[in-house]
């Protein structure tokens, strides 16, 4: 559908029932960090078959939606990939070997979207496909229909030697030389590389090549060998690993915690142990072996879990209903542990073992199994994840499953949110969250408002701290009441609704429909980044709030100028010290900024006139 202009937002929203007002505060002077564009990613976007290229319409869809990051290794199908022969063994289809041309896929990405990043994968299992001649005849068996036995090891009559060959670290990392020296591909565009895929369950997904699980140190050495060779060949590489399988495997290696080899009574969860060992190996080798700590996540398909999924990563107060593996965090089984906060735990472990300036970020290169029955639930979930990841400087996010509602949210964020995350707070954050950002020029503030309430609309008051706006009239962009079928066709043909509101006394009031995502965009005249709630010890303005008179005590040198500005930035009154008493009776009630300036001083203080 075409964009719809909402003339009176409040009138439209009034048909919904409304609960108590939600107070949102936004301080654009409190920057968090630049938002990684690579959280705007996705899996399995490109054809790797030269005979069946990605269509021009699909490329245009990716561009219109603002897709920035392409994870194209194929998940489990990457583990036995042979880039020399362009073959891989499919673990979920009899282990049969099929053609995949990563060279072609990467070349097509570079040609069509050179501004985007692509991520492929190294192999650590040690074996790769060599021929499709031993494939099980699935067409003759049942016309290649899916059934519960497709994971049977029937390729090569169950003998992996007939279709696999040895694939050591030198072989897997040699793709870097092949791509960048021989093929001439861009190192910058293909800087990110996964360290294989879900190693904790290889003895299940790849039981033809690894029927028994390997000791954790065996895996660590495989990882280190590949990482060292990759870093040596490509010093600017971004290594993303170890690509944890799911919540249970975040904490458990082969269904258990890990004993310290030097102190068997000391137990580690798998994430902590991996971080500890990477810190030790980096110290030993003198090389950086990890850039992005990469996770996969397939939570329970429940509406309540999907709506609050963003809280799993950093919220230390959230009792996550799917908490399971985290119960072994202390080495035993503690059923009282219900709070997950896996990214915060991991960051704390990184700080502990690698030091505060480790530079390792978080990544989520697969996510799926969400509550897909309602696109509006998907939309608010995906928006909440993007907002949370933006606030916490997560570097990569590429969902595996893609549902109705996600294209719309991706487009909304990439076109109407900013690139620098700033501080927001909500009085009812469980239901209504705000994720705020500035554009690169810092002259536009975007506030993403997510209403997760499945029943009610929510009235919000957005208070803007420490900014002056260019205009009292602002615009917003909203997604709500999405249908079950895909609505996003292009940047001009989608479900996005637009409208206007006003700023009154630094406050924007909006009523948000249930299960909706709204971006409020506010042009900024100036950021008052040096405002102080309390004056420096050598000057004091009181009382504050003031009514008729303001007393000044100061040890500042003369001449010192006090400029009183309103919230539009206009200078209303100028006073030259050493004046001690200032008449403010002619100032209207409201908030002012007093800028105090002399030869050595330039700072500001908020003043309220009652």
Interval 66-117: pLDDT, tens: 999 999 999 999 999 999 999 999 999 999 999 999 999 999 999 999 999 9
Res 602: pLDDT: 62
Show the tokens assigned to 6. 């909402």
Res 528: pLDDT: 58
- Residue 328 is given by DSSP the state G
Q: Three-state DSSP class for 490?
A: coil
Separation between Cα atoms, residue 275 and residue 242, nearest integer Å: 10
Residues of the chain with pLDDT under 50: 1-18, 530-537
Closest CA to 81 of 31, 41, 107, 120: 120
Q: Where are the alpha helices (DSSP H) in 254-372?
A: 270-285, 303-307, 311-314, 342-354
Res 12: pLDDT: 37
Res 320: pLDDT: 98
Res 489: pLDDT: 98
Show the tokens assigned to 516. 């909706």
Res 533: pLDDT: 36
Q: Three-state DSSP class for 502?
A: strand
Helix, strand, coil share (%) of the chain residues, nearest 5: 25, 30, 40
Res 575: pLDDT: 84
Q: What is the pTM assigned to this prediction?
A: 0.84
Sign of CA dihedral 305, 311, 312, 315: negative
Long-range contacts of 148-155 (CB under 8 A, 24+ apart): 150/92, 150/93, 150/94, 151/91, 151/92, 151/93, 151/94, 152/94, 153/94, 153/95, 153/207, 153/208, 154/94, 154/95, 155/89, 155/94, 155/95, 155/96, 155/97, 155/208
What's the Cα-to-Cα distance from 573 to each of 184, 359, 563, 582, 583, rounded to whole Å?
A: 64, 48, 6, 10, 10
Domains detected in the chain: 4-31+424-525 (2.60.40.1180), 40-79+99-127+167-308+360-416 (3.20.20.80), 531-609 (2.60.40.3080)
């Amino acid at each position: 559908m075409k964009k719809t202009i909402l003339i009176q937002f409040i009138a439209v929203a009034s048909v919904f029932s409304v609960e108590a007002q939600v107070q949102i505060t936004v301080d654009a002077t409190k920057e968090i960090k630049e938002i990684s564009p690579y959280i705007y990613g996705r899996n399995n976007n490109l054809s790797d078959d030269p005979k069946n290229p990605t269509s021009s319409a699909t490329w245009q869809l990716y561009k219109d939606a603002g897709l920035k990051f392409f994870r194209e290794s194929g998940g489990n199908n990457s583990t036995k990939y042979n880039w020399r022969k362009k073959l891989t063994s499919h673990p979920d289809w009899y282990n049969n070997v099929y053609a995949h041309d990563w060279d072609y896929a990467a070349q097509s990405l570079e040609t069509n979207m050179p501004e985007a990043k692509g991520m492929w994968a190294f192999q650590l299992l040690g074996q790769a496909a060599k021929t499709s001649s031993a494939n099980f005849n699935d067409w003759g068996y049942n016309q290649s229909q899916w059934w519960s036995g497709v994971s049977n090891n029937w390729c090569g009559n169950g003998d992996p030697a007939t279709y696999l060959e040895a694939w050591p670290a030198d072989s897997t990392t040699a793709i870097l030389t092949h791509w960048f020296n021989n093929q001439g591909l861009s190192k910058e565009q293909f800087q990110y590389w996964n360290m294989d895929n879900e190693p904790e369950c290889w003895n299940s997904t790849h039981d033809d090549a690894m029927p028994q699980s390997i000791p954790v140190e065996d895996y660590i050495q495989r990882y280190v060998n590949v990482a060292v060779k990759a870093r040596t060949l490509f010093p600017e590489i971004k290594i993303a690993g170890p690509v944890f399988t799911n919540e249970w495997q975040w904490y458990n290696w082969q269904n258990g915690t890990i004993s310290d080899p030097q102190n068997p009574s000391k137990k580690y969860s798998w994430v902590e142990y991996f971080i500890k060992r990477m810190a030790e190996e980096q110290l030993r080798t003198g090389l950086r072996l990890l850039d992005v700590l990469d996770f996969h996540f397939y939570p329970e398909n429940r509406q309540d879990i999907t709506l609050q999924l963003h809280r799993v990563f950093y919220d230390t107060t959230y009792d996550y209903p799917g908490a399971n593996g985290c119960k072994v965090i202390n080495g035993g089984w503690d059923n009282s542990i219900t709070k997950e906060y896996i990214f915060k735990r991991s960051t704390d472990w990184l700080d502990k073992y690698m030091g505060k300036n480790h530079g390792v970020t978080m990544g989520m290169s697969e996510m799926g199994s969400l509550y897909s029955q309602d696109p509006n639930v998907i939309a608010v979930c995906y928006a909440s994840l993007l907002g949370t990841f933006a606030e916490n400087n997560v570097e990569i996010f590429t969902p595996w499953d893609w549902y109705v509602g996600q294209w719309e949210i991706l487009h909304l964020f990439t076109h109407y949110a900013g690139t620098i995350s700033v501080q927001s707070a909500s009085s009812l954050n469980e239901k209504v969250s705000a994720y705020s950002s500035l554009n690169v020029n810092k002259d536009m503030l975007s506030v993403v408002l997510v209403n997760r309430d499945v029943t009610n609309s929510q009235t919000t008051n957005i208070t803007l701290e420490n900014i002056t706006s260019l205009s009292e009239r602002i615009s917003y962009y909203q997604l709500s009441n999405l249908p079950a079928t895909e609505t996003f066709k292009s940047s001009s043909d989608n479900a996005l609704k637009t409208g206007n509101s006003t700023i009154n006394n630094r406050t924007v009031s909006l009523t948000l429909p249930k299960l909706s995502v709204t971006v409020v965009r506010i042009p900024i005249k100036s950021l008052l980044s040096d405002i102080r709630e309390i004056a420096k010890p050598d000057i004091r303005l009181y009382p504050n709030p003031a009514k008729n008179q303001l007393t000044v005590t100061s040890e500042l040198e003369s001449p010192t100028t006090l400029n009183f500005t309103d919230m539009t930035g206009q200078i209303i009154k100028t006073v030259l010290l050493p004046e001690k008493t200032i008449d403010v009776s002619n100032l209207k009630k409201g908030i002012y900024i007093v800028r105090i300036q002399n030869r050595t001083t330039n700072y500001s203080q908020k003043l309220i006139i009652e």
